[in-house]
Amino acid sequence: MDFYATLGDSCARMELLDGLFRAGMTGARVNLSHTSLPRCAPLLEGGYWPAARRAGRKNAHLLLDLQGPELRVGELPRPTPLREGDEVLLGEGGVPVPKAVLDLAKPGCQIVIDDSALLLEVRRSSPSVILCRVARGGTLQSKKGLALLGAQVDTPTLTQFDRENLALAGKYGVTHILLPFVRGPQDVEVLRRELARLGLEGIQVVAKIEDAQGLEQLDGIMAAADQICIARGDLGNALPLWKLPGLQKDIARRCRERGKPFCLVTQLLWSMEQRPVPTRAEVSDIYNGVLDGASSLMLTGETAAGKWPVQAMDYLVKTAREAMAALSAT
């Protein structure tokens, strides 16, 4: 089984990378929504790969998570607190958002940001600006993902930024590509053609299931991709949250029946961004994910931005191994 960390400032020191490998990490993710391969070069060449060699991980993985068609907040000068009941402008003169959001948002629409941590209700809209009421408040930060509930956005499979980073994937040792918001097998084929053009056919393609379109096309996506990623953050925005556990189990069952490996990600140990010990619910979630057949588990903010990256990996690995032992005993 594979155990992945997301690279970021919280695990950038050599002793922490060594600690993550000692805890059982088998690979790491670079998230292009927050960085690039050239910007990560010192961490990869001077930290990650040397730590992998010291740990004896000759087959360590490096996963490149593309921007893809995901919508995100633009750059902000500083984190911005949003209080419930406040009004906030999106677009010209306010919070920068993609043009697709300005085109689609209409009065009455709801916009979720940062895995539903923030909820905005559209009051008025124009081609250049949207006036929203804050229905669920918190701190708004740059580059956080956003979604218009119930809307389907027509955006390209690969951004120019994705293509520039894919051209460097071989140089930096990328082994897997995470393709976000896969809407159908055609998205996977676009990526495969780009990889073939670059002579990188050996890289594994991992299709992230994050919205209703991906769910509807799951059979075709499974046939086209090497692996599936159950990406619960945005998937939890696409439907009522209480439906997510059953949906996760259904995707897992379908992957098992097809013999398709799948990765489970998002908030596995979310509390450990701030606490050295996880909740009972979190370790139970990990255990059940392994029993359901997950072939890999991925930490995100826990290692990229959390206070306890090595401890989080340790809990992830030890909990998963308990579940694996239970499976082998049956």
- Give pLDDT tens digits for 123-135: 999 999 999 999 9
- Provide mean pLDDT across the span 206-222: 96
Domain parsing of the chain, residue ranges = 2-69+156-329, 71-148
Q: How confident is the model at residue 295 (pLDDT cuts 50, 70, 90)?
A: very high
Q: Among the residues of the chain, which ranges form H helices?
A: 14-23, 37-43, 49-54, 99-104, 160-166, 169-172, 185-197, 212-216, 218-224, 232-235, 244-258, 280-291, 301-304, 309-329
- Above pLDDT 70, what percent of the chain? 100
User: What pLDDT does 72 receive?
Assistant: 85
Q: How confident is the model at residue 19 (pLDDT cuts 50, 70, 90)?
A: very high
Contact 286, 266 (CB under 8 A): no
Structure token pair of residue 14: 């050599």
The verdict on domain 71-148 having CATH code 2.40.33.10 is yes
pLDDT in tens, 66-104: 988 778 899 999 999 999 999 999 999 999 998 889 988
pLDDT in tens, 27-39: 999 999 889 999 9
pLDDT in tens, 150-188: 777 778 899 999 999 999 999 999 999 999 999 999 999
CATH number of 2-69+156-329: 3.20.20.60
In angstroms, the CA 90 to CA 96 distance is 6
Strand partners, 178: 65, 206
Helix (H, G, I), strand (E, B) or coil at 183: coil
User: What pLDDT does 99 receive?
Assistant: 87
Asked if residue 204 has pLDDT above 80, the reply is yes
Q: How confident is the model at residue 52 (pLDDT cuts 50, 70, 90)?
A: very high
Entry pTM: 0.85
CA angle 76, 78, 83 (to 5 degrees): 95
- Provide mean pLDDT across the span 192-217: 96
In angstroms, the CA 14 to CA 52 distance is 11
